[in-house]
Amino acid sequence: MKKARVLFLCTRNSARSQMAEAFLRKYADDKFEVLSAGLEPDEIHPYTKKVMAEIGIDISDQYSKPLKQFMGKVLIGYLITVCDKAEKLCPSFPGISVRLHWPFADPAINEGTEEDKIERFRCVRDQIESKIKSWLKEPQNDEKLITVI
């Protein structure tokens, strides 16, 4: 039986979508194939790696990927946008069963002290972890999604 694919999408695939990918793998990897991508992919932000490592999650094997790598090429059980820009600009494309929008603030805002900056990443990390945990508790029709994929 194939796993339902979940694709997390944000603008740069450098922070929020990378965190979401790592958390879903941690909490439900046996249930989903987890992917992430960006509309304008960039290197993973160093603070993303740092705040995930603080809680024992190593994302050193993850890397930024463009949406076009998946668009129209693979079937997606869930497309989850994690920023407003990605939600607004993500084109519709075939092969998506469910599209969700979970807006999180961009932690990479370059304002404040270094401690302010890292704290924004921690806050967003914790919000994403909480959202993933609560989403996994919701009843879902995975049987339908798995047969589509």
Q: Which residues are catalytic?
A: 10, 83, 90
Phi, psi values for residue 94, rounded to 5° = -65, 160
Cα torsion at 40, 44, 48, 52 (round to 10°)?
120
Q: What are phi and psi of 135, to 5 degrees?
A: -65, -40
Q: Say if residues 76 and 7 touch (Cβ distance below 8 Å).
A: yes
For 135, the 3-state DSSP assignment is helix
Element (H, E) at 104: none
State the first-to-last Cα distance of the chain, in angstroms, to the nearest integer.
10
